[in-house]
Amino acid sequence: MNFNIAHVNIQGQNCLICEANAQDGTDRSRSAVLARLVAAARAKNLRVDKSALAYTEYGRLKFYGTPDLVKFLANNGLPNWTHTLTL
């Protein structure tokens, strides 16, 4: 599967934002999906200090991941996608 990702520097931190969600929509599953995507990004030599998923739920953009990154994204919006990651 291909996933859109944004690998950006936000406030001095290397952040990975992935366009993905867990099939069952639980936080436990989202955590597992995020861990797999972070591992895949690191395998491609991307440095990741903080990470989050970006997904749409009931027509609203939502985020899941590192709490301060999630808060930043909720307040400032989603950056443009910079890469595609294949799992």
> What is the DSSP annotation of 3-72?
EEEEEEEETTEEEEEEE---SS--HHHHHHHHHHHHHHHHHTT---SEEEEEEEETTEEEEEESHHHHHH
Q: Locate 82 and state its tokens.
A: 């910079």
Q: Locate 27 and state its tokens.
A: 């936080």
Domain assignment of residue 14, given as a range: 2-86
- Residue 87 has what pLDDT? 86
Which residue shows structure tokens 């440095």?
47
Query: Which residues of the chain carry a pLDDT beneath 70?
Result: none
Q: Which amino acid is at 86?
A: T
- Residue 37 has what pLDDT? 97
- Residue 5 has what pLDDT? 98
Question: How many domains is the chain built from?
Answer: 1
